[in-house]
Structure 1
């Protein structure tokens, strides 16, 4: 359900009989929730940015501000509130809030940050509502509040055997003043948090309810499809749209920036008309091919002018005095995001404002772009968020929103832009291609005394993470990078940068461990223990948390003890969480096959175990599939793959079993949407190395000579 204002939330709550309304600020975790009147919420007079309501029918409703892209935030948020409230989960629902950046602090989905940001705020809201309901019951029964307890949506006074459902107490509770401080539950007393709870949208998704942007319809709206240049580096020169305009159902053909839009009454009609456009382009920048990228990478690794991101000790002396030096290079290709739901967006540009509706991970960016295009102030632009059929970072961009706004402005009508699958795959904003060169210096004892990493990326900015392990664990260290500007547009892809960097770093550490004559797991443990005893520079990761997942993964996988099973190890810290994985390869009909991945995860308290398991499993499948098969190549600036017949993704029979184990350390949640993906590639590659004796240094593995004969 999408709502456009606090007034709509009030109306929805009023339908359930009104009751208790609680306002709280997402912006200030330390601020106390307070009771507010429904009338003030409806009239916009309450200075709060989210609301919890308890209706007289026992229903509990909460506004969820963050976009839902499948990470389960729309379930996790109310689950946290319900836990502290001791609610009956079957009575809890959530309403998707619209953009309101004067009220919300972080109305974004990205970086696995929604639950960590909102954890304390949500708990306080639920605990405050519980306090008020207990107070209302105690007052009615004329007993001390300390004698009352709560469970599954009711207040109990066990001494007298009395109980009342929350709905019967909601109005009385609304007359009380909320406390400045409230006691939160001890995590050991959680009843809902940590259990498996079904996604709140499951029924609507399964029954085909129109929840996604591509489902959105409004009577009178037009449909638009955009013809973009066929290659990156081309500029629009001329357009002959005479034939297209004569096609059935076509309203107009308009141009803007470097694009041509066909606008009509149905998707099929505009698609067919777009096919008869006669467009001429001219060269505006270099038309790069994948062969050019290989040459550029190799040249810049040697001759580029690097930017130093971290330097410790005397790196030159460490390598000059080393007993052994290990060097390796790793490379990855561009990747499309390919969410199940292609890009789409609705815009209605009017003289007095702009209405935006659709799937976006960054609604404020959408509004900002609309304001730039139209000149209409941001406070006259509304943004409603639909559920998203996948994002993975692609919907952090606003190019498809800009298209909808431009077209609506030009044709002076409400318009929904719809991309085809081919548009989506060739339309840019890819995971950037990167190449890394690693060097390690070992002394006679097999200790790593020197470490160098140089990254070269296409529009990647800094393609390294200079403060991640093994930084802090090596006395002499140098991490730098070179960026190559390219006309091929790039952007965040699930677990930005670390999605490939983790594979390269962890695969290389296995090479170093082998050269040192040490077990890969023990090698990492030694590095971490050395960093704990004597850190080299600042350590910006939690050594104990990383050690814990390493040991848990080794224990659960029976590391090194299984006969006929070739195991590969990997561990990584990203987005505040720690994940260690063990890939397991076995021989099937004489060929090595990936059969299992064991994951040990420290993401703090697991809010929804069911959703969390799926996040980890999905991350492992995503990481495995793209490491083994994903590849987007270019010829003269044009993508050579435009659909799933050419852009290979993992198939059902290729998915390994994924065995997940969570660390129970009781700390606040630290994020889970992305951290399970980065370590997967190395766990898989290192396992295949154990099985074949051949290193996999380039993705996708399927194109590697060492991969021949592997299933």
Structure 2
């Protein structure tokens, strides 16, 4: 397959290096004019026009590709350059990758969230590489006085087969920078890819393995101070603080009140931590002081409430249930969860009279910059943001509260400050996954066909806890999906695969129960519904039936669904973040308890950029999904979290992780999301396998706190 993209020459930027030659090429989809500059290659400041990615080539043939998006462990810092290098026909051994700073004049969507980075930038990155390659070909052809169509490229060289001549990209870089920028760029055919789809090591691996300072917690600036904050529990406010003892401790520079918190600032982490513990703070009530027992009551009231928001209604639901031969009902509940990244929140800020510098791990650096600018009354261009690698985020670092704290503390003490959260701060002052309870009802006719479906999502700070257009919507003639939400002082926000991370468990576990009531194989039951959604849909169908069937068939094939002896298999399939994933869990009973032995995961995310990164993305999602479904639970007593560290909040252990067998559907569809889609189906694949093994349904997370696992630590 070939792709022809036409772009005005003014949508590209090229800069000829003044020192030693070289080509720096960026590309821009919105600006009206390209520009040429004589700035030196190293440390060049490109003109202030928007673009998505750029590359540089020095006369020695070293290709530098800047990766603009935040690296949170999803491998984007490797994947983006692979795409550029593929179209450039670069030798990967000669590629240097650098993390770009926040620069909205040059880059778009510098965000890590929603599994949207690759889908957004796929063609933009390809065009960047293809444009540079075209200019290098033209430069070589001009030097040799031959037609560019008679030249080819390979591993950083331009070749002329007829005369057996070749020139490296480095030798051609200066001349290429003077060639006209093409308006018509032909991209490679997918069959000709050499890098994309291969296994390529993460570019940060050497630094990670040798302990190089890549993460926010590693950042150090000579003369900077350390700051830690004592924050209120949910529903409280600061009444008074006695900081005399803290201020008198060694190394402490200041203690300041920041909004509703108290910040201790000093010279070292340990000195500040000890002083923070020495604060004498009195808090007072400032709203509802909610407990988990309150939430259980609130859930019941919401599920029984006559007032909800209807999200989707198809057909005549009331009549379908009235005339049903059989009605199946079930409720599923999921708790609050912290994000628990390995690296707690931290950020560096240096606020000056007319500018501010930020350095740290953020999934939304532009939001951090804009909020800082607003807080300080500065133009956004006076706030710089340098990105560090993140030691996990999972949605927590989409929020900017911890970065803004650093700005506030730096301003208050008039010094550069790195604000650091302890593990206890991270767990008790976090922004959690919302707690939700779902009520499902399904109506079967006398032939065991699904003729009616109801779903109500009752949530705490989730807004709409449903995804009303996801499967099985479109496959059921009579369907009602509504939601109701309770506003709580407990802060919530995106958590890896927002909403679907718990909705998928409930939906897919319930569909298994309905399949059992209909006396049908769980896989065949879903395939019949998908055929109905394609052949005779009800309302809109927002998912691709064939792609969903494709991952189901791949998972069934690889797992030997229904053919194995000695194991109990559970099935789940889900569509989220533009991708499709089917999973099959395998459980055995040991000493009277179910044990998860293996998970098969089949994914359709379009073209796989990097097999190494993609495999690890899926495995990470599965571990995250089953780990939190099995063990995660955050509870509260009068607004105060009960769990404060990993001694009382259970994360999955290494010996509890099953074998994970990953497969990808091979196609030529443009890449779709992968950082999140493999998490939602994991919980249900495990729950349905446990039912097969024990005959007991799991309706609540975490699974280990249910009767099935009673007595298991």
Q: TM-score, normalised by structure 1?
A: 0.95
Q: Is the CA contact 1:119–1:668 (under 8 Å) kept in the aligned structure 2?
A: yes
Match of 1:259 in 2: 261
Q: Which moved more, 1:379-388 or 1:15-24?
A: 15-24
Q: 2:78 aligns to what SS in structure 1?
A: helix
**1:101 aligns to 2:104 (yes or no):** yes
Deviation readout 1:644-671 (Å, 9 max, x if unpaired): 1111011111101111110111010011
Q: Is the CA contact 1:300–1:482 (under 8 Å) kept in the aligned structure 2?
A: yes
Q: Is the CA contact 2:444–2:451 (under 8 Å) kept in the aligned structure 1?
A: yes
Distance in 2 of aligned mates of 1:60 and 1:367: 30
Distance in 2 of aligned mates of 1:529 and 1:34: 54
Q: Is the CA contact 1:32–1:181 (under 8 Å) kept in the aligned structure 2?
A: no
Match of 1:198 in 2: 201
- Shift in CA distance, 478/600, structure 1 to aligned 2, threshold 3 Å: same
For structure 1, the 5+ residue unaligned runs are 1-8
Q: CA deviation at 1:298?
A: 1.3
Match of 1:3 in 2: none
Distance in 1 of aligned mates of 2:688 and 2:419: 44
Match of 2:92 in 1: 89
Q: Which moved more, 1:167-176 or 1:490-499?
A: 167-176
Q: CA deviation at 1:143?
A: 2.0
Which residue of 452, 460, 480 corresponds with 1:478? 480
Match of 1:171 in 2: 174
Which residue of 117, 120, 124 corresponds with 1:114? 117
Q: Is the CA contact 1:19–1:54 (under 8 Å) kept in the aligned structure 2?
A: yes
Q: Is the CA contact 2:635–2:641 (under 8 Å) kept in the aligned structure 1?
A: yes
Match of 1:4 in 2: none
- Shift in CA distance, 436/590, structure 1 to aligned 2, threshold 3 Å: closer
Which residue of 19, 24, 34 corresponds with 1:21? 24
Match of 1:291 in 2: 293
Q: CA deviation at 1:707?
A: 2.6
Distance in 2 of aligned mates of 1:208 and 1:479: 50
Match of 2:464 in 1: 462
Alignment length (residue pairs) = 699
Q: CA deviation at 1:406?
A: 1.0
Q: Is the CA contact 1:583–1:684 (under 8 Å) kept in the aligned structure 2?
A: yes
Q: Is the CA contact 1:16–1:55 (under 8 Å) kept in the aligned structure 2?
A: no
Which residue of 365, 381, 385 corresponds with 1:379? 381
Q: CA deviation at 1:132?
A: 1.3
Q: Is the CA contact 1:433–1:458 (under 8 Å) kept in the aligned structure 2?
A: yes
Which residue of 653, 662, 665 corresponds with 1:660? 662
Match of 2:185 in 1: 182
Deviation readout 1:120-169 (Å, 9 max, x if unpaired): 01101111111111111222222221221111111112222222211111
Which residue of 363, 366, 379 corresponds with 1:364? 366
**1:528 aligns to 2:526 (yes or no):** no
Match of 2:273 in 1: 271
Q: 1:470 aligns to what SS in structure 2?
A: coil
Deviation readout 1:322-367 (Å, 9 max, x if unpaired): 1100000000111110101100001111111111111110111111
Distance in 1 of aligned mates of 2:315 and 2:208: 56
Q: CA deviation at 1:63?
A: 1.9
Q: 1:453 aligns to what SS in structure 2?
A: strand
Distance in 1 of aligned mates of 2:429 and 2:81: 36
For 1:115-194, list aligned pairs within 5 A: 115-194=118-197
Deviation readout 1:11-51 (Å, 9 max, x if unpaired): 9x9799441121202658xx999876546994543635332
Which residue of 45, 52, 74 corresponds with 2:77? 74
Q: Is the CA contact 1:428–1:488 (under 8 Å) kept in the aligned structure 2?
A: no
Distance in 1 of aligned mates of 2:172 and 2:375: 50
Q: Is the CA contact 1:21–1:37 (under 8 Å) kept in the aligned structure 2?
A: no
Q: Which moved more, 1:150-159 or 1:510-519?
A: 150-159
Q: 2:583 aligns to what SS in structure 1?
A: strand
- Shift in CA distance, 118/26, structure 1 to aligned 2, threshold 3 Å: farther
- Shift in CA distance, 699/27, structure 1 to aligned 2, threshold 3 Å: farther
Q: Is the CA contact 1:154–1:165 (under 8 Å) kept in the aligned structure 2?
A: yes
Q: CA deviation at 1:710?
A: 7.2
Q: Is the CA contact 2:14–2:25 (under 8 Å) kept in the aligned structure 1?
A: no
- Shift in CA distance, 35/478, structure 1 to aligned 2, threshold 3 Å: farther
Match of 2:490 in 1: 488
Match of 1:696 in 2: 698
Distance in 1 of aligned mates of 2:684 and 2:354: 54
Q: 2:172 aligns to what SS in structure 1?
A: helix
Match of 2:638 in 1: 636
Deviation readout 1:308-327 (Å, 9 max, x if unpaired): 11110011001001110000
Match of 1:246 in 2: 248
- Shift in CA distance, 575/53, structure 1 to aligned 2, threshold 3 Å: same
Match of 2:7 in 1: none
Q: CA deviation at 1:691?
A: 0.2
Q: CA deviation at 1:498?
A: 0.4
- Shift in CA distance, 73/412, structure 1 to aligned 2, threshold 3 Å: same
- Shift in CA distance, 90/282, structure 1 to aligned 2, threshold 3 Å: same
Q: 2:468 aligns to what SS in structure 1?
A: coil
Deviation readout 1:70-105 (Å, 9 max, x if unpaired): 100000011001111111001112221222224433
Match of 1:548 in 2: 550
Q: Is the CA contact 2:691–2:697 (under 8 Å) kept in the aligned structure 1?
A: yes
Q: Is the CA contact 2:49–2:105 (under 8 Å) kept in the aligned structure 1?
A: no
Q: Is the CA contact 1:344–1:417 (under 8 Å) kept in the aligned structure 2?
A: yes
Match of 1:5 in 2: none
Distance in 1 of aligned mates of 2:293 and 2:594: 31
Q: CA deviation at 1:274?
A: 0.8
- Shift in CA distance, 331/672, structure 1 to aligned 2, threshold 3 Å: same
Q: Is the CA contact 2:438–2:506 (under 8 Å) kept in the aligned structure 1?
A: yes
Match of 2:597 in 1: 595
Distance in 2 of aligned mates of 1:463 and 1:587: 34
Q: CA deviation at 1:304?
A: 5.7
Q: CA deviation at 1:115?
A: 0.6
Q: Is the CA contact 1:124–1:184 (under 8 Å) kept in the aligned structure 2?
A: yes
For structure 2, the 5+ residue unaligned runs are 1-12
Match of 1:673 in 2: 675
Distance in 1 of aligned mates of 2:35 and 2:597: 53
Q: CA deviation at 1:526?
A: 0.4
Which residue of 537, 540, 544 corresponds with 1:538? 540
Deviation readout 1:147-205 (Å, 9 max, x if unpaired): 21111111112222222211111111112112101111111111110011000111011
Distance in 2 of aligned mates of 1:661 and 1:624: 18
Q: Is the CA contact 1:124–1:182 (under 8 Å) kept in the aligned structure 2?
A: yes
Distance in 1 of aligned mates of 2:540 and 2:34: 38
Match of 1:312 in 2: 314
